[in-house]
Amino acid sequence: MSGQVYNFGAGPAMLPVPVMEKIRDEFIDFQGMGVSIIEISHRAKQFEQVLLDAQERFRQLTNLPENYKILFVHGGARMQFSALPLNLAGRSATKKCLYAETGNFAKLANKDAKPFGDIKVIANTADSNYDHIPEITPEMVDQDAAYLHITSNNTIYGSRYNSFPETGNVPLIADQTSEILSRVIDYSKFGCIYAGLQKNLGPAGTAIVVIREDLLGQAAAETPTLLNYEQCAKDNSLTNTANTFAIYVTGLVLEWLQEQGGVAAIEKVNEQKA
């Protein structure tokens, strides 16, 4: 190779060099097993430890309360646009779900949710080409809604929520794909957050879903098994063959983040870059 090539794309994004080097060193012979991480069973005790380690590191980095489940699910963040209303719209008698449209992916989230709930967009900046984050006041949040969904950072438009809406008893849900673990956030303010791995955490094709336990068990009867968060939580993300490589790499990235001083330290670096 003639030299380092830098990828400034939104995702899949570059991984830290130490992580790439460890992947290289372990790829043929994972933990002395004589096989690669991509060859071992997702039910092997060695992979079970990889999964538990990744979950625990995420919990430590975010100071996540114990009443939240950490799931690794298939399909990336886009799949969650459909999974969320299937799992949560039933909390409302009318399946009312509130959305804020602040960018392209927020618009897609609204669109993909429509077959599964009564979708109400309560804040929309499309008319100004998504040039700002609109204010959402408590009065705008119907307390009979199943949830309020926001996209906390909008990749294309470079906008983000510097503070989050007060929603009363309505769970706040956030797509955090563009910024997960890039700044300190109080996750106890959210009922659920999710993110595709490919921008900040690991390879594409898998998402992390963090959901408060009391929101589980309310999925619509027609929810496919692999989109059912309660089932995924019961099986600890192993309902079917997990993306073992993506979870392994995510664990390495989380370990690297801890070695850098955690999310607060990374936030300072990001502020300097910005």
Q: Which residue has the tokens 């706040």?
A: 172
Give me the phi and psi of 132, to 5 degrees please.
-160, 165
CB atoms within 10 A of CB 222: 8
Task: Indicate the number of domains in the chain.
Answer: 1
CB atoms within 10 A of CB 8: 6
At 1 the pLDDT is 53
Whole-number Å distance between alpha carbons of 47 and 176: 26
Residue type, 32: G
Whole-number Å distance between alpha carbons of 53 and 59: 10
Phi-psi region of 31 (alpha: psi -120 to 50; beta: other; left: phi over 0): left
Kindly state whether residue 190 falls inside one of the protein's structural domains.
Answer: yes
Task: Give the distance from CA 197 to its chain's centroid.
Answer: 7
Kindly state whether residue 273 falls inside one of the protein's structural domains.
Answer: no
Report pLDDT digits (tens) over 49-97.
Answer: 999 999 999 999 999 999 999 999 998 999 999 999 999 999 999 999 9
Whole-number Å distance between alpha carbons of 106 and 152: 9
Alpha-helix residue ranges (DSSP H) falling in the chain: 17-26, 45-62, 76-88, 104-113, 229-234, 244-259, 263-273
Helix (H, G, I), strand (E, B) or coil at 21: helix
- Say how many Å lie between the first and final Cα of the chain, rounded: 30
At 13 the pLDDT is 84
118 neighbors 95 (Cβ within 8 angstroms): yes
Kindly state whether residue 54 falls inside one of the protein's structural domains.
Answer: yes
Q: Which of 143, 92, 85, 146 is nearest to 110 (CA)?
A: 85
**CATH at 116:** 3.40.640.10
Preceding peptide of 134 cis, ω within 30°? no
Query: CA quadruple 109, 113, 114, 120: dihedral positive or negative?
Result: negative
At 2 the pLDDT is 64
Kindly state whether residue 156 falls inside one of the protein's structural domains.
Answer: yes
Domain range holding 246? 49-253
Give me the phi and psi of 126, to 5 degrees please.
-60, -35
Kindly state whether residue 74 falls inside one of the protein's structural domains.
Answer: yes
Q: What is the pLDDT along the chain (274 residues), one digit of tens a residue?
A: 567 888 777 778 889 999 999 999 999 988 888 989 999 989 989 999 999 999 999 999 999 999 999 999 998 999 999 999 999 999 999 999 999 999 999 999 999 999 999 999 999 999 999 999 999 999 999 999 999 999 999 988 989 999 999 999 999 999 999 999 999 999 999 999 999 999 999 999 999 999 999 999 999 999 999 999 999 999 999 999 999 999 999 999 999 999 999 999 999 998 998 7
Give me the phi and psi of 74, to 5 degrees please.
-80, 160
* Max Cα–Cα distance, the chain, nearest Å: 61
Kindly state whether residue 18 falls inside one of the protein's structural domains.
Answer: no
Kindly state whether residue 56 falls inside one of the protein's structural domains.
Answer: yes
Kindly state whether residue 10 falls inside one of the protein's structural domains.
Answer: no
